[in-house]
Amino acid sequence: MEGSSAEAALSVSANSIRITDLTQDGDVLTFAITSQKLNGSAGVCVFRTYEDFDWLQQSLFSQENVPGLQGIIFPPLPPKALPSQLNMQTKAFKQLGFLALGQDWQSYCKALEFYLQQVATHPTLCKCKALDGFLINSESPGKQRGRKGIFNRLSQAVEEMRKESHKDVDNFFQNERNRNTSIAALSKVATEKLLDVVMTEQKLALACGHFSTSLHLCVNQDDADAVAFSKVCLKLSDIIEAVKRNYEKVANNNLTTLGLGLDLESRYQEAEKEMLFRRTCKLVELETVKKGTEKAKANKREVMEAFQKAVEKEFNLTSSVAKQEIERFHSSRVNVLKNFLIDWCEQQLNTAKECAELYSQHLEACRNMYSE
């Protein structure tokens, strides 16, 4: 149903959206985004910078005449990447996590690609005209001045922090807030732990590379014993090189599968938290209006009651959309994370089989060397 809804609203196939190339000019990254036209076999390719992605996100936030927009869980846009920060590992990893690793910004491109696919398959957001223009117009939309959405990082506003602990009148939403708080914390910890594992695997691979290279310094042809020792060093160098490649593959598998899955899960939990907070703000607003209506004088009561009904209608609509979004969110996130886990297991299993076969070959070569 979601796919057909997206295709009815977009002029391209949502599932065909891909980021196929990347060019870098200083700190500016330009992404080549391809997609397939629905009517015919024609393909589309546009070039977008991060500012264009940010413009799209703000356009989604600031849509008018979309009922219950505040109840939507917006797909999370990855933070902006600054290539110059990669030399400052601590700062880059704190901001980007897994997206700062990998070759040629592959992980970062995949995260942006997934963001576009999630927006394009969302039953409401796919209808935003800004999205279709973003995907098919050759001119950069970032040149247009976008309005800042009223939801942008709302949960970080200092004056609103007190509302986060406000008790909900609906047990469904109170329980969801509690669940979200718990899972968001666990997702963040799991992501950070796996990131530590990947970085350790990369360091081990680097150390193995240095060790493998240093063994070549032991090669000596002065006498028979030196020649025999040199053969051992060269064979050991080959084995350590195989260990190095295995660490590299395992780390890359962790990065491109489970790592991206956990990173996405963590950012989506934050997106749900922001939606729940927006609804809590509407709840606080409604309760404030009700108190004002009760205290209003007779000559102002009619106006206040009309205003209360309008606020209550908006709150109920937001709550209705939010419940649908939460149900969709749970189903979608489980399937997405399951697919990442399956891909992770398959890749690591294939890598283990390749490594075991290679080690067997080296073991046989060592046996033959000593039997000579």
The mean pLDDT of 324-337, rounded to a whole number, is: 92
Q: What is residue 257's three-state secondary structure?
A: helix
The pLDDT > 70 percentage for the chain reads: 87
Mean pLDDT on 274-283: 92
Task: Give 142's pLDDT tier (boundaries 50, 70, 90).
Answer: low
Q: How confident is the model at residue 229 (pLDDT cuts 50, 70, 90)?
A: confident
Q: 306: phi > 0 → left, psi -120 to 50 → alpha, else beta; which?
A: alpha
Average of per-residue pLDDT across 346-361? 95
Inter-CA distances, 166 with 57, 161, 173, 179, 185, Å:
28, 10, 12, 16, 20
* CB of 254 closer than 8 Å to CB of 201: yes
Report the pLDDT averaged over residues 307-317.
94
Q: What is the mean pLDDT of residues 31-44?
A: 88
Burial class (CB in 10 A: 0-12, 13-18, 19+), 65: exposed
Contact indicator for 37, 12 with CB cutoff of 8 Å: yes
Measure CA 204 to chain center: 27
Nearest to 275 by CA among 130, 125, 84: 125
DSSP per position, 322-345? HHHHHHHHHHHHHHHHHHHHHHHH
Q: Please, which pLDDT band fits residue 220 given cuts at 50, 70 and 90?
A: confident
What pLDDT is recorded for position 1?
A: 40
Inter-helix orientation angle 50-61/106-120, to 10°: 30
- Mean pLDDT value of segment 319-340: 93
Task: Give residue 2's pLDDT band: very low, low, confident or very high (50, 70, 90).
Answer: very low
Q: What percent of the chain has pLDDT over 90?
A: 62
Identify the pLDDT of residue 221.
Answer: 77
pLDDT of residue 287: 92
Mean pLDDT for the stretch of residues 165-174: 91
- Confidence bin at 26 (pLDDT 50/70/90): confident
DSSP assignment of 183-237 equals HHHHHHHHHHHHHHHHHHHHHHHHHHHHHHHHHGGG---SSHHHHHHHHHHHHHH
Mean pLDDT of the chain: 87
Q: What pLDDT, on the 0 to 100 scale, is given for residue 41?
A: 74
Domains, the chain, in order of start with CATH, read: 1-149 (3.30.1520.10), 151-371 (1.20.1270.60)
Residue 151 has pLDDT above 90, yes or no: no
